[in-house]
Structure 1
Amino acid sequence: MNIGNPLREINWVEKSSTLEALLKHEGSFHAVSLDSGLEAEVMKIAAPTADYILKVWNKASKPNVHAQYQILSALFTNGSSVSEPVGWGTDRNGDSTLLTSYDGMPVQSVDQRKLTQLVKILADIHKLPLEDFMGDRLPRYEFIDYFFPRIEKHPDIRILLEELLQRADMKPSCLIHGDYHLGNILETEDKLTVIDWTNAQWGDPRYDVAWSIIIMWIFASEEQAAAYRAACCAEYRYEEHDLELFEAIACLRGIMLFKANDVPIDHRTISRFRSILSKNEYLNDQLL
């Protein structure tokens, strides 16, 4: 559905030269509403020379979009596989907005080459010394508070989670994406682009890797998750047994989201959760 020109209604806080040029020709493009997620409304801005994505956080989630823009700017400048940040600001309702380049559609299928490429992209993100770009402005959160909100409603998960975190000895040491999975990887021709930096923060790369493995297992297949895990271990020089502990932590988050109806669930999803629980030495079937 065409929805006119929402860009003229935004109070831009930061604008790239790309946006400055775009706004001079605002009569020559239009916006089309796309499928939106739980957090924000998403629009495609079609211009004569290029397309862009406008994200408006007009729902319950109110992330730090300024930090997202800075993180994206640093990553893009460094040559990382991310969208070009074009501008950010607020609309007439005070909702935060972010304009980026348009980089295709979410990855639909993977093979070994693509799985290896996905691992390399994530590893390159973890290697970037982002503190050199942002100093102490990189968001830092308490792990349980951020990734397990409302956990007090799930005492069985909390008890096990605290035990696993003691064993894991989390070591925040780099930028993590926080939600790295195929739905947040766009593809156009042979180019892959990482999007949705809402959860980006200072963190432990082992958790970032483990979460991506668990989501691959649940929403792709166990076989692809196993191949992806092997590629992660080769790239990061992790032992698979060490990752199993972080996969257990990530799976607990998935179960909590499942119980809160925050993730799409069908019989296949439940079956895959049960497979993870039965094969991870730190977990048990009673969690479901």
Structure 2
Amino acid sequence: MVLLLEDDTTLSVTPLDSGLEAEVMKISSPESDFVLKVWNKESQPNVQFQYEILNALHTHGSAVSKPVGWGYEVNGHQVLLTSYDGTPIDKVDQPKLKKLAKNLNDVHKFPLDRLTGSALPSYDFIDYFYPQVDQHPDIQDLLVKLVQRADLKPVCMIHGDYHLGNILESEGKLTVIDWTNVQIGDPRYDIAWSIILMWIYVSEKRASFYRAAFCAEGRYGEDELELFEAIACLRGILLFRANNLPS
């Protein structure tokens, strides 16, 4: 990675859409394209850990970017260099929805013993996904009741924020990005949050087919996922109130 960045005479840099956490840019050389993510905002995640997770997933054959390297830039901000894998999905059809569901299911099936030297974190569910919910007692009261009914089972790797903005597409290939929220968690919540965002930003019809794609595998029933969708919907309301979710 150092050699790539030092050889700036043949590189071109193109800014990409950046999130709340980091600045993202495309770096192109005559041979190939890369993505450089620079955490120069308030968020300071463990980027080395993200690199190790990506490396394990990519080696396993999961639909993720190939990690090239990680480190620090001159101002001390953490950086991560990966392969360039296209642009966020613009339109979805039924075959693509099935592929999206399969890729998330594959994440949940990832064998944790492949993470040699890297232990996935495990967080308190409400504290992590519903920060400052105690300031919204109407949401908190309902959330606690629903979580008790759901009987959470944090048993596998979850992405934590699986939606179309974190899926890249290039020549029919889909790639999952942004592993900042990766952790041990309940796969049903991971799926439900993805369904809710599909319902909000695409359509109820697409979200219904997307849900059915998960149910078709036989691991979850619609009633089971709908309970977790209610839990996920409360997160959406909380984020909307905090102005962290585009309306």
Normalised-by-shorter TM-score class: over 0.9
Distance in 1 separating the partners of 2:104 and 2:38 = 26
Task: Choose which of 34, 38, 45 in structure 2 pairs with 1:63.
Answer: 45
Structure 1 position 180 matched with structure 2 position 162: yes
- Asked whether the equivalents of residues 52 and 100 of structure 1 are also in contact (C-alpha less than 8 Å), the reply is yes
For residues 35-85 of structure 1, the C-alpha deviation after alignment (integer angstroms, 9 at most, x for no partner) is 211111111111111111111111122222121111100000011100001
**In the alignment, what sits opposite 2:174?**
192
- Asked whether the equivalents of residues 119 and 235 of structure 1 are also in contact (C-alpha less than 8 Å), the reply is no
Structure 1 unpaired stretches of 5+: 1-18, 266-288
CA apart distance, 1:30: 2.5
**In the alignment, what sits opposite 1:139?**
121
Please, what TM-score do these two structures have when normalized by structure 1? 0.82
Structure 1 position 99 matched with structure 2 position 74: no
CA apart distance, 1:25: 3.9
Kindly indicate whether structure 1 or structure 2 has the higher relative contact order, using CA contacts under 8 Å at least 6 residues apart. Answer: 2
Flag the structure with larger Rg. Answer: 1
Structure 1 position 79 matched with structure 2 position 25: no
Question: Amino acid of the residue matched to residue 117 of structure 1?
Answer: K
Structure 2 unpaired stretches of 5+: none
Question: Amino acid of the residue matched to residue 28 of structure 1?
Answer: T
Please, what TM-score do these two structures have when normalized by structure 2? 0.95
**In the alignment, what sits opposite 1:10?**
none
- Asked whether the equivalents of residues 123 and 235 of structure 1 are also in contact (C-alpha less than 8 Å), the reply is no
SS of alignment partner, residue 235 of structure 1: coil
- Asked whether the equivalents of residues 207 and 250 of structure 1 are also in contact (C-alpha less than 8 Å), the reply is yes
RMSD over aligned Cα atoms:
1.5
Question: Amino acid of the residue matched to residue 137 of structure 2?
Answer: P
Aligned length: 247
- Asked whether the equivalents of residues 50 and 179 of structure 2 are also in contact (C-alpha less than 8 Å), the reply is yes
What is the identity percentage for the equivalent residue pairs of Structure 1 and Structure 2? 64
SS of alignment partner, residue 216 of structure 2: helix
**In the alignment, what sits opposite 1:244?**
226
CA apart distance, 1:235: 2.1
Structure 1 position 171 matched with structure 2 position 153: yes
For residues 187-243 of structure 1, the C-alpha deviation after alignment (integer angstroms, 9 at most, x for no partner) is 011100001111111111000000000000000000000000001111253110011
Distance in 2 separating the partners of 1:226 and 1:64 = 36
**In the alignment, what sits opposite 2:90?**
108
CA apart distance, 1:20: 6.0
- Asked whether the equivalents of residues 123 and 236 of structure 1 are also in contact (C-alpha less than 8 Å), the reply is no
CA apart distance, 1:27: 2.8
Q: Summarize the Cα distance change of 1:36–1:131 in structure 2 as closer, same or farther, 3 Å threshold.
A: same
- Asked whether the equivalents of residues 74 and 130 of structure 1 are also in contact (C-alpha less than 8 Å), the reply is no
CA apart distance, 1:21: 5.9
